[in-house]
Amino acid sequence: MDLIGWFGAVADLEGALVEDNGGGQLSVLFPDHLRRRLQVGEMESFGMEEEQDSDIGRLLHDQNPVIAGMGEILAEKGRFATAELPGKPQLLRMPEAFLDRHFTAQNFIYRYRDQQIATVRYLVIPFLLGAVSDMKAERIVTIVLNETTRTVPLGMENDLTAAMPQTLHSSARSAFADTAPTAGAGATETISLMKKMVHRQAMQLFSEFLRSSERRMLRDLERLQDYYGAIAREIETGAKKRWSSDGEREKAAGRLEAARLEYEKKIQDVRDKYVVEIQAEPLGALRLAVDAVVLHIRMQRRKKAMQIELPVNPLNGRLEAIPCAACHTPVLNGFLCDEMHFLCAACHPNCPICRRD
């Protein structure tokens, strides 16, 4: 598609009336929001080339602010999209048995209360993950979180890849979000939880990168130690030969001290060089509304009780997991601390949340 065709298509998508005058010329009637955003009049003509004796109006080219503005609009829309997936799930015939198979309470009891079909919303964010030290590694990782119940739909990112193109072409409604997913109540916490989840994954994904940085750092530190060890020995042997002369001891001590300070500074330089910084940048966001079976459960430990909602993921039929309150690992086999924080096995015996408070 050439520039003028692209411009016409996007303007049309954004609610403008576009008339193709032929010969690469367009007349466009802009709606209010585009007039303000692009700083154009209500009716404008556009063309690609200047022709003699013809008034084609504005000339379109790559550097044109109108084109840049339209590109920005499109980029924002591409980053934040919403979609609805069709389909009505069936209530479970044996919800207790299903829970028995998939949810394990290690140090508490739980009871199934009831189930209902409800619309839940998922936030799907592909992150560009980077590990940066003296070298750099990059991966794209997609994190999906059920915003409605704050549960983790295990494996859903793979099912989405399979389901999306098909459903979007058939009956799913896909629309551009009016507001970014960062807007709205609770969204900031959702995003911050997803960032913590992606950082946790980064530690696993980049484990080889982290180990190799560590190895190279230790190797450099060993070299430094050898080098400054040799310097120190040289200063000492040199001094011993001239032991009798005036102030030789003091001079040697001064030189040793200078070498020690330099050594310490070099150690810090090496440590700084190999510090691994983990970066996670969201590449976009998709908010997905789907109907799901949601199980209502009552968890009880000693005298305390709490209600939770666990959805059965509508795409893959798996029970969604609860993120560990401390490290955010998704868990379906968990513990409760005395303050009712839901924890994974690694965080359990000594609840990090209670310790922090």
Minimum Å distance from CB 344 to Zn ion? 3
Minimum Å distance from CB 334 to Zn ion? 9
Residue 128 CA to residue 61 CA, distance in Å, equals 32
Q: Whose CA is closest to 329, among 196, 205, 207?
A: 196
Q: Whose CA is closest to 80, among 188, 13, 180?
A: 180
Q: Which residue, 289 or 354, is less far from Zn ion as judged by CB?
A: 354
Q: Which residue, 217 or 321, is less far from Zn ion as judged by CB?
A: 321
Q: Which residue, 256 or 340, is less far from Zn ion as judged by CB?
A: 340
Q: Which residue, 191 or 344, is less far from Zn ion as judged by CB?
A: 344
Place of tokens 């119940």: 149
Minimum Å distance from CB 200 to Zn ion? 9
**Do residues 318 and 90 make contact, with C-beta atoms less than 8 angstroms apart?**
no
Residue 202 CA to residue 281 CA, distance in Å, equals 12
Q: What DSSP letter does each residue of 195-235 carry, written as one string?
A: HHHHHHHHHHHTHHHHHHHHHHHHHHHHHHHHHHHHHHHHH
Minimum Å distance from CB 343 to Zn ion? 6
Minimum Å distance from CB 348 to Zn ion? 8
The encoded tokens of residue 70 equal 């339209």
Q: Whose CA is closest to 337, among 46, 107, 119, 114?
A: 107
Contacts of 1 (CB under 8 A, 6+ apart): 9
Minimum Å distance from CB 20 to Zn ion? 60
Residue 118 belongs to what H/E stretch?
strand 109-132
**Do residues 30 and 38 make contact, with C-beta atoms less than 8 angstroms apart?**
yes
Q: Which residue, 321 or 324, is less far from Zn ion as judged by CB?
A: 324
**Do residues 101 and 257 make contact, with C-beta atoms less than 8 angstroms apart?**
no
Vertex 334 angle, CA 332 and 336, to 5°: 140
Q: Which residue, 205 or 353, is less far from Zn ion as judged by CB?
A: 353
Minimum Å distance from CB 349 to Zn ion? 11
Minimum Å distance from CB 337 to Zn ion? 3
Please state, in angstroms and as integers, the Cα–Cα distance from residue 224 to each residue in 166, 266, 296, following that order.
59, 8, 61
Q: Which residues bind Zn ion (CB under 5 A)?
A: 324, 326-327, 337, 339, 341, 344, 347, 351, 353-354
Minimum Å distance from CB 153 to Zn ion? 19
Q: Which residue, 35 or 200, is less far from Zn ion as judged by CB?
A: 200
Q: Which residue, 28 or 322, is less far from Zn ion as judged by CB?
A: 322
Vertex 205 angle, CA 199 and 211, to 5°: 105
Amino acid sitting at position 131: A
Q: Which residue, 99 or 351, is less far from Zn ion as judged by CB?
A: 351
